[in-house]
Amino acid sequence: MKTRKIIMLFSALLLFSAVQAEDHIYTGLFSNKALDGHDPVAYFTLGRPVKGQKRFRLKYQGVDWYFSSAEHRRLFQADPEKYAPRYGGYCAWAVAHGTTARGDPRQWTIREGRLYLNYDADIQKDWLADPQRWIREADKHWPAVLE
């Protein structure tokens, strides 16, 4: 597991070192979809990731957010900071380590009313062992880690 984390961090550093600055919202390389098209409100209302639909799309912070219903889109519009994932949807564990990596919408947790994503199940296991520590560390690096 430790080797996998080191490889993930090294790969992220190599991949993103060629980029001057990251976008504030992670969308993937050839996409403009936040959360890979998942509905951010569904994590809170349904307790699980749900793919959004194009007909309930909304542009926020320059990227497209997808929702599974008009009601979820309305809730997001009323308070986007409540529903948008912390650290722009980047892996919270990676941000805690001073780098960025994609956040997987299927590897998520809600802590103190905020949505956090992780890179994969192994990283999430480490994240869940001490989320308060990782949140404190990530807060120290965010948003400067994007520069």
Encode pLDDT of 42-88 as tens digits: 999 999 999 999 999 999 999 999 999 999 999 999 999 999 999 99
Burial class (CB in 10 A: 0-12, 13-18, 19+), 90: buried
Q: Is the pLDDT of residue 21 over 80?
A: no
Report how far residue 25's alpha carbon sits from residue 112's, in angstroms, rounded to the nearest whole number: 21
| 8 pLDDT higher than 90 | no
d(C-alpha 108, C-alpha 117), whole Å = 4
Q: What are the two backbone dihedrals, phi and then psi, of residue 117, each rounded to the nearest 5 degrees?
A: -115, 155
Above 80 in pLDDT, residue 18? no
Q: CB atoms < 10 A from the CB of 63, how many?
A: 19
Question: How far apart (Å, rounded) are the C-alpha atoms in residues 119 and 109?
Answer: 12
Determine the pLDDT at residue 23: 87
Residue 3 has pLDDT above 60, yes or no: yes
Q: Using CA atoms, how far apart are residues 113 and 82, in angstroms rounded to an integer?
A: 7
Instruction: Quickly count: other Cβ atoms within 10 Å of residue 30's Cβ.
Output: 5
| Nearest in space to 94 (alpha carbons), one of 132, 141, 128, 49 | 141
Report the distance separating Cα 127 and Cα 99, nearest Å: 15
Which residues neighbour 43 within 8 Å (Cβ) at sequence distance 6 or greater? 49, 83, 108, 110, 115
Return d(Cα 74, Cα 59) in angstroms, integer. Answer: 13
Give the pLDDT score at 142: 98
The model's pTM is: 0.85
Query: Average per-residue pLDDT in the chain?
Result: 91
